[in-house]
Amino acid sequence: MPQLAHAGTTLFLKRWLRRPFAMGAVVPSGRLLAEEMARATLQALIGRSGHVVELGAGTGEVTKALLAAGIPANRLALVERDPELATFLRRHFPALRIIEGDAARLPRLLSDHHVAPVAAVVSSLPLLSLPSDVVNGIVGGVFEALPRGGALVQFTYGPTPPVPRAARERLLLVGTHGKRIWRNVPPAVVWTFKRSAAA
């Protein structure tokens, strides 16, 4: 889909120039990072039914990888706060459910759009650059929406886990991660978070 990729990159750059700290990167997720996000999501879905909710779907780079990995369109629900990006997603992914809204209100958004049950959440949100109260609201909402054993798949460009220690301790989360993807711009790591057995 070269035309989609070009259109997506152009729109992403335009949105970044307007609101750089909200976008988190200058370019959309690269193919290798998107494929690793999809691989981690498939791993999290083993033996689980329900929806896959993608937060911060942007221009759909991770969405394409999730679909290519075999996740059916009727299992995917995309959450995007930016109206222009949400319109882009509706145009290029007409078979998917696109929810325009703030991920910090995730349980309410999913309830309003009858998205249940949720098997996994995939996030491209720039958690490390968001205020701590916003991050706490997003991560808390994710694990309010997820059943026991459900996973949050989240990438980061930083050297530390993208979910802050205080939130991990409060929610009793355990994180695992893959190798750093050096060929992504910038290099990134995919993390998977679940509640610990003691939660």
Q: What is the DSSP letter of 4?
A: H
Three-state DSSP at 186 gives coil
What's the average model confidence in pLDDT over 55-60? 95
Q: In what order do the strands lie in the sheet with 118-123?
A: 97-100, 76-80, 51-55, 118-123, 151-156, 189-195, 173-177
Question: Model-level pTM?
Answer: 0.86
In the chain, the amino acid numbered 105 is: R
The residue type at 34: A
The answer on pLDDT for 100 being more than 60 is: yes
Kindly state the helix (H) or strand (E) to which residue 112 belongs, with its residue range: helix 106-112
Taking the C-alpha atoms of residue 154 and residue 172, their distance in angstroms, rounded to an integer, is 17
Read off the pLDDT of residues 71-93 as tens digits, 9 standing for 90 and up: 999 999 999 999 999 999 999 99
* Across 10-14, 85-89, 95-99, 184-188, least confident range: 10-14
Both structure tokens of 65: 């990888």
User: Beta partners for 98?
Assistant: 78
Cα–Cα dist 149/195, whole Å: 7
